[in-house]
Structure 1
Amino acid sequence: MDLFDSMRIFVRVVERCSFSAVARELNMGQPAVSKQVRALERYLGGPVLARTTRHLALTDQGQRFYSHCQDILGQVESATRRFASDQEQIAGPLRVAAPVSYGRLCIAPLIGTFLERYPDVRIDLRLSDHNEDLLMENIDLAVRIGAVKSEGLVAVSLGTTTRGVYASPMYLQRHGLPLEPSELAGHNCIGFTLLEHYDHWRFTRGADKFDIAVTGNVTSNSSEAIREMVLCGMGISLSAQWLFAADVEHGRVRTVLDDYQPCALPVSALFSRERRHSARAKAFIGHLREHLQVLPDNS
């Protein structure tokens, strides 16, 4: 048994929660993956995984061993990379995933200046409002808005995105202008279902906090669709400022509840642990952190 290989396979099984997924990833048969983990358990003298027919769980000793393995493998990988080269050449393909509207309005405009600085990089920008599997889709990094819950991924903060409440003049003329958050109960509020608390809108004003349950006759998992519905006068939306910045400037929508500040959402760059040393990904993340703040209405 190669102890280092067995530790590496064990860590991947824990991160993927699947023998078969690791087998596909490493181009091995599933029995070979299972055999490596069993050999590791024999070497250690006890089980590291509690197996059921549906899922895997770490034993108490397995949890401690898993943490040690992460540290050891990380140190070996870091030492190997530093020995091979003091600095990886920033060149080659870079696959980036981002939400549709944010990618179109905030990420895409920054790609040109990044490629001027690193002309040997080739970027594939993939826009989707669904959280893609970075490993399965071979994505180098993904930009996410909102709380990050993806296990086994490294998250780097890109800052926050401020939000506002928006409605068209047509809607407000028909239904009136809400002056405080509690009045949203009498309005058709359009929920963005990819956010965990899409039916609770949270505001602050000074030291006061407001958590308002909202309802409406339409929701969507697409911010682009929500924008169109607001423009058509269907209802009120709590959305990122960059989504409606141009519409506010041209008078197509109005901001509502200006005396109240909706809770900002975190923006993060995610990548797998295997790619945490990618010079291309690091350079692109640094570029985003440097320039995202200069885009309209994005902090």
Structure 2
Amino acid sequence: MATFVQIVEAGSLSAAAGRLDVSLTAVVRSLAGLERALGVRLLNRTTRRIALTDEGREYFERCRRLLAEVEEAETFLSARQAKPAGKLAVTAPVMFGRLHVGPVVTGFLAAYPEIRADLILLDRVVDLLDEGIDVAIRIGQLPESSLVAIPLGATRRIVCASPEYLHRHGIPAIPADLVGHRCVRFTGVTPGAEWEFGGKSGTVRVAVADTLATNQVDAALDACRQGLGCGCFLAYQARDLVASGQLTRILADFEPAPVPVNLAYPHSRLLSSRVRAFVDWAVPRLRAALAED
């Protein structure tokens, strides 16, 4: 099973042999024996490529999950007993990382001085395996994947504007009123021209005319603070400005369902002692931070 999974992930029998540090003949023999034992063909092979059969595709997904569980079971005790050390790579959205993840990582490194960390803050989704990331903080619905996700809480999409802007232009009473307002669009939260709202009748989408669109949340927040227009943000992004009175939250009765926040790590990767230690350290602290928002 392990050889079969390596063949599929590597893309060829010879590449799998290199990963496993065995001969190509041994890989061919293992695959043939597996197909003979199962009584089905798992791969269609030519001189240039391999392709999974329908049976092979389903068997591959089951094998990958099963092998990951076996690996986790075999290493559970030893990983917890090992002294955490080495390099840890963590990624998070820029502002959430600056406000919440950065302090958590700093405290973790103080508690585990033999660990070094790379904190990578990006407002885009990265492939953890391809980019060598151990742990990610993800905001939004997670697609089906090989990631293990631990719920941390949720945050809301809110609309806000400066008191001065609302004094000049009036306070929108319902989402449709935004059509007559100037809007600042942070593309990390609202990539399209429509803003989504909830309500008794279900989801409502309003097309807004953006005076400013930017991929930088700080620039969008500052524009709203200076009275340029109404902006749509995640609650934690605007929290401090709302708390200080520089921005006013509007249309609160029409906010859509909360956006989930998860800590995620690759299921297929051996969970090292440093990753396990960080997960145990970060989860309760990030949950507490989100509860305050």
Give the alignment's TM-score, normalised by structure 2. Answer: 0.78
Aligned to 2:129, what secondary structure does the other structure show?
Answer: coil
Check 1:87–1:37 CA distance in 2 against 1; reply closer, same or farther (3 A cut): farther
Deviations 1:201-253 (A, max 9, x none): 33345x55341222223433332332233223332222122211221232221
Q: 2:117 corresponds to which residue?
A: 123
CA contact (8 A) 1:97 1:143 kept: yes
Q: 2:147 corresponds to which residue?
A: 153
Q: CA deviation at 1:135?
A: 2.0
Q: 1:44 corresponds to which residue?
A: 35
Q: Say yes or no: does 1:287 pair with 2:281.
A: yes
Aligned to 2:202, what secondary structure does the other structure show?
Answer: strand
Q: 1:209 corresponds to which residue?
A: 202
Q: Say yes or no: does 1:77 pair with 2:71.
A: yes
Q: CA deviation at 1:39?
A: 6.8
Q: CA deviation at 1:145?
A: 0.8
Letter in 2 for 1:8: V
How far, CA to CA, are the matches of 1:85 and 1:151 in structure 2? 24
CA contact (8 A) 1:93 1:121 kept: yes
Q: 1:175 aligns with which of 148, 151, 169?
A: 169
CA contact (8 A) 2:138 2:262 kept: yes
Check 1:7–1:128 CA distance in 2 against 1; reply closer, same or farther (3 A cut): same
Letter in 1 for 2:205: I
How far, CA to CA, are the matches of 1:37 and 1:263 in structure 2? 52
Q: Say yes or no: does 1:94 pair with 2:88.
A: yes
Check 1:238–1:85 CA distance in 2 against 1; reply closer, same or farther (3 A cut): closer
Check 1:84–1:293 CA distance in 2 against 1; reply closer, same or farther (3 A cut): closer
CA contact (8 A) 1:158 1:289 kept: yes
Check 1:295–1:42 CA distance in 2 against 1; reply closer, same or farther (3 A cut): closer
Q: Say yes or no: does 1:12 pair with 2:9.
A: yes
Aligned to 2:277, what secondary structure does the other structure show?
Answer: helix
Letter in 1 for 2:111: R
CA contact (8 A) 2:263 2:283 kept: no
Check 1:195–1:255 CA distance in 2 against 1; reply closer, same or farther (3 A cut): closer
Q: Say yes or no: does 1:111 pair with 2:105.
A: yes
Alpha-carbon RMSD across the aligned residues, in angstroms, is 3.6
Q: 1:139 corresponds to which residue?
A: 133
How far, CA to CA, are the matches of 1:250 and 1:26 in structure 2? 61
Give the alignment's TM-score, normalised by structure 1. Answer: 0.77
Q: CA deviation at 1:265?
A: 0.8
Check 1:150–1:85 CA distance in 2 against 1; reply closer, same or farther (3 A cut): closer
Letter in 2 for 1:40: L
How far, CA to CA, are the matches of 1:37 and 1:214 in structure 2? 58
Deviations 1:149-187 (A, max 9, x none): 263332222211133211123432343210112212222
Aligned to 1:275, what secondary structure does the other structure show?
Answer: coil
Q: 2:220 aligns with which of 205, 223, 226?
A: 226
Aligned to 1:182, what secondary structure does the other structure show?
Answer: helix
Q: How does 1:189-200 map to 2 (within 5 A)?
A: 189-195=183-189, 198-200=192-194
Q: 1:249 aligns with which of 236, 243, 250?
A: 243
Q: CA deviation at 1:199?
A: 4.0
Q: 1:16 corresponds to which residue?
A: none
CA contact (8 A) 1:242 1:298 kept: no
Aligned to 1:111, what secondary structure does the other structure show?
Answer: helix
Check 1:81–1:256 CA distance in 2 against 1; reply closer, same or farther (3 A cut): same
Aligned to 1:277, what secondary structure does the other structure show?
Answer: coil
- Number of equivalences: 283
Check 1:42–1:294 CA distance in 2 against 1; reply closer, same or farther (3 A cut): closer
Q: 2:178 corresponds to which residue?
A: 184
Q: CA deviation at 1:280?
A: 2.3
Unaligned ranges ≥5, structure 2? none
CA contact (8 A) 2:68 2:269 kept: no
Q: CA deviation at 1:190?
A: 3.3
